[in-house]
Amino acid sequence: NAGVTQTPKFRVLKTGQSMTLLCAQDMNHEYMYWYRQDPGMGLRLIHYSVGEGTTAKGEVPDGYNVSRLKKQNFLLGLESAAPSQTSVYFCASSSRLASYNEQFFGPGTRLTVL
């Protein structure tokens, strides 16, 4: 099992460009999450999904959109990138059937917006 994978690993964008980050998991998890991690800020939840076709806003959703068309994939889109979106992005997934919400994380995507 690959677990949670993210593509790309690194990306540099210019202000105003758009891009999509892909998260894939092969654990048949219902829940998927997108976080961003900035120095001194910990992990902040951007959007999450509790099942295929459903998404919800997290703590810092502005400037991002998501889609969960397939259970195993969760896409994070930036329509018009801004320097404030320079960060490391982590995807995570967890099982609805677990007794507690242990989230499994992908390796992260380092995004720089110039």
Residue count (the chain):
114
Subset of residues 33 to 72 that bind other proteins, contact rule: CB under 8 A: 33, 35, 40-45, 48, 50, 56, 58
Work out how close the CB of 86 gets to other proteins at its nearest, in angstroms, rounded to a whole number: 18
Kindly state whether residue 27 participates in binding other proteins, applying the rule CB under 8 A. no
Beta bridge partners of 23: 6, 74
Kindly state whether residue 103 participates in binding other proteins, applying the rule CB under 8 A. yes
* DSSP line for 32-74: EEEEEEETTTEEEEEEEEEETTEEEE-SS-TT-EEE-SSTTEE
Contact positions vs other proteins (CB under 8 A): 4, 31, 33, 35, 40-45, 48, 50, 56, 58, 90, 94, 100-108
